[in-house]
Structure 1
Amino acid sequence: MSVVPPTVSKEISPAETPYSISERPPVIVIGGGANALSIARSLGRAGIQVWALNYDYSPVRYSRFAQWLSLAGKSQGKSAWADFLLGSSSDHLKGSVIIPASDDALELLIEHYTKLKRRFRLDLFVPDAHASMLNKLKTYQAATRCGVPTPKFWLVDSISSVTKLREELVFPLLVKPLYSHRFVATFGVKFLVAENFEQLMSAWEKLDEEHEVMLVEKIPGPDGQLCSYYTYIDDNGKHLFQFTKRIIRRFPPEMGVACRHVTDHIPELVEPATKLFAEVGLRGLANVEFKLDPRDGMLKLIECNARITAANILLDRCGYDLAYFLYQRVCEGDTPRFRDYQDDVYLWNPVDDLRAFLQLRSRGELSLGDWISSISKTNVTLQIFHWSDPLPSWMNTWHRLCRALTRKVHG
């Protein structure tokens, strides 16, 4: 089943549309979903040309603020992106600013940083530090070294190593991949959940040698206990801004992508985030997520992202235009200053939030009245839809419907 109506697809071959960078350098946004779209909209409105290297189903492909790089018919993905960026096909884009918007894109920069830096403009990037943030085990080990609380975790590499830990493990727990983006590409989820040892054994049988995993204690409580810290770390290790928010719901609940967020000043996040980033020597954009553990009242590490995240449009709405911030840092050496932001500004994905509500209601955890009350707020920004650029939202819905139908047809 085709998921891309050919009459809507907007493919532009780089060879057919040469672009001079004698004026303002263009930007190449690599990977990403809603975050890539928000980057394109932000920079496009500022008069900066944006090129998108991404998978065919990404909403940014259909934005009027981005030009799609079709790669001469090659399948999109990290390997094809590297071939394009390091080959002669991208010669006319030399000097462009590269902004990674996915873990695939970060891996690309880590693996080819030196060569890419010779051809393009890159923001502050420390390959070893970014690699530590990408690898979940290294992130947790760094947190342990510097005293940042984490859930209990165990490294396992075989069924025998799992069996040896049987008396030590606590349930429920997560079978968490070291590299989430690779795991999602195979299994469609960020991790597997085991409520007991038997379920852990069953989950282990689904794995293959390609996916390294760790076992992580599942912190109890709803998704509303999740919160995040954002900053930019300059060459001297100074945090140039601080932005914090909370998650209200995710879909699927307790394991999916956040579908409703709200801004909130959470000063308790600053110290552990600062310690963790300093431990690994991270520079540039940085984001870390914690969850409040109700058993001991401690904020515990969940994961890190050293790039613009899916909630970027929320920061943009609050005056923290990270895409333009990066552009000015890279091209002009300027450091824009952000004013303080307002609490109770919401980011909403209505489709996924409805699905989250239905699941939570079936579990007796959220009533219809409470859900309606929670979404009846002002200062709400939609994650993908915007009246000035509606096609990405329509096509995103089309792709999701087609994938759902495909799964139903094939069982």
Structure 2
Amino acid sequence: MNNKAVILGNNYYIGLSAIRCLGEKGIHTVAADYSEEDRYGAESKYCSEKILVPHYRKESGKFIEALIDYAKKQDVKPVLIPCHDSYLEVIDAHLDEVKKYYLLPQTEKGLATEVMNKDTLHALAMEKGVKVPESVRVNEPNFREKVTNEIQFPCLVKPFDSPSFVATFRKKIFKVHTMDELEEAVAKADKAGLEVFIQRIIPGFDDHMHTFDAYLNQDSKVTHWTTAQKLRQYPINFGASVYTIHKYIPELYDIGTNFLEAIKYKGFGEIEFKKDAETGEFYLIEINARITNFNHLLYKVGLNFPYITYMELIGKPIEPQALKETTNRAFWYGYEDLLAVKDYIKTGQLSVGQVIKSLFRPKAYAIWSWQDPKPAFAFMKTRTSKLFRRGK
């Protein structure tokens, strides 16, 4: 296997997980980042090579040029694996050019951005008969009346462009309880040049969040899949997974497969659903069009999605596989879970006893590995340094 794997974004544990999943298979992994700061994923013993490239957002053109220049120096096309939405957005915008020099699963320009954008994703879902939470646009006639009577408070102010919103506000949504709060949130987004819409909150605690995780081949057919259940998120209620269990949820296969195949999706994709606590119906919340946060959990239960991706792209596809069982293994990002638990307990959503009871499961850790401990030490070093600077 002479094709190198270029992993974008190694200052987060998704990139680290991709490096481990590929490196342990003997694949030459290349950690590509714009800075040495907090680059703990590149400290893995499975990282074969490190390169620095211009910032994907501040210097997008130069970033793409640097990637192409690197690929031109290789004997065969590298496989490109973006591990962050912002990297994926830029790659998608330049896909026609990038795919001349790299192997990528998604070959249709714009589709990745379309499923990451809440507006176009919801339109696609409704077109294909998949339930999505009711929403109202800010510029609709009788906007306030619709929010008050149809959406009702509390509700969510959500961005169409999630990566840009998260980069600006360090959160995925604004939760508002009154019209004054709503108008203030909309004004904040407008000042930042970001479009938003208002969405109904589907009833149910965080453990009503479920995922369908799948790989679709170049014929847009699901070949590998499983499902999971989130137990805790950070920030709580509307954040990223910090404690998720592998659980078989058969209903999600039909909904997820039919939708992804219908839109001609290719590569790894994760659909996040919320199960309505009152009706039991599943609502599509969002799609992650890159390796998921709890990739290491999927690897531990037998689905190495970065490797599945790599092998298909170099022309050696792995035999299809579905995990139709509940292993009860848990993904755990301990650092942020501690922050989440504090807030869950503070708001009365969980008790100390419930949290302790939930921990008695086999784990798949976000960062720690006995076989590859250096990234965890690098991570703790940077976090300790930041805390020390704040204390001055």
- State whether TM-score is above 0.5: yes
Partner of 1:106: 88
Q: What aligned pairs does 1:247-286 form with structure 2 within 5 A after superposition?
A: 247-286=230-269
Q: Measure the CA separation in 2 of the matches of 1:386 and 1:179.
A: 34
**2:9 pairs with 1:31:** yes
Alpha carbons 1:251, 1:258 under 8 Å: kept: yes
Of stretches 395-404 and 191-200 in structure 1, the one that deviates more from structure 2 is 395-404
Secondary structure of 1:300's counterpart equals strand
Alpha carbons 1:225, 1:291 under 8 Å: kept: yes
What is the Cα deviation at residue 312 of structure 1?
0.6
Partner of 2:40: 59
**2:206 pairs with 1:223:** yes
**2:316 pairs with 1:333:** yes
Partner of 2:153: 171
What is the Cα deviation at residue 246 of structure 1?
0.3
Secondary structure of 1:48's counterpart equals coil
Partner of 2:274: 291
Partner of 1:5: none
Which consecutive unaligned segments of at least 5 residues does structure 2 have?
none
**2:32 pairs with 1:45:** no
What's the TM-score, normalizing by structure 2?
A: 0.90
Q: Measure the CA separation in 2 of the matches of 1:392 and 1:289.
A: 28
Q: What aligned pairs does 1:1-400 form with structure 2 within 5 A after superposition?
A: 24-31=2-9, 33-55=12-34, 56-66=37-47, 67-71=49-53, 74-75=54-55, 77=57, 79=60, 80-86=62-68, 88-93=69-74, 95-156=77-138, 162-163=143-144, 165-168=146-149, 169-207=151-189, 208-338=191-321, 340=323, 342-377=326-361, 379-400=362-383
Are residues 301 and 339 of structure 1, via their aligned partners in 2, closer, same or farther at CA, if it must alter by over 3 Å?
Answer: closer
Are residues 99 and 194 of structure 1, via their aligned partners in 2, closer, same or farther at CA, if it must alter by over 3 Å?
Answer: same
Of stretches 75-84 and 290-299 in structure 1, the one that deviates more from structure 2 is 75-84
Secondary structure of 1:241's counterpart equals strand
Alpha carbons 2:332, 2:366 under 8 Å: kept: yes
Partner of 1:12: none
Alpha carbons 1:26, 1:97 under 8 Å: kept: yes
**Amino acid in the other structure paired with 1:196:** T
CA RMSD of aligned residues (A): 2.4
What's the TM-score, normalizing by structure 1?
A: 0.86
Are residues 76 and 399 of structure 1, via their aligned partners in 2, closer, same or farther at CA, if it must alter by over 3 Å?
Answer: farther
Q: Measure the CA separation in 2 of the matches of 1:223 and 1:287.
A: 17
Q: Measure the CA separation in 1 of the matches of 2:391 and 2:208.
A: 34
**Amino acid in the other structure paired with 2:157:** V
Count residues in correspondence: 382
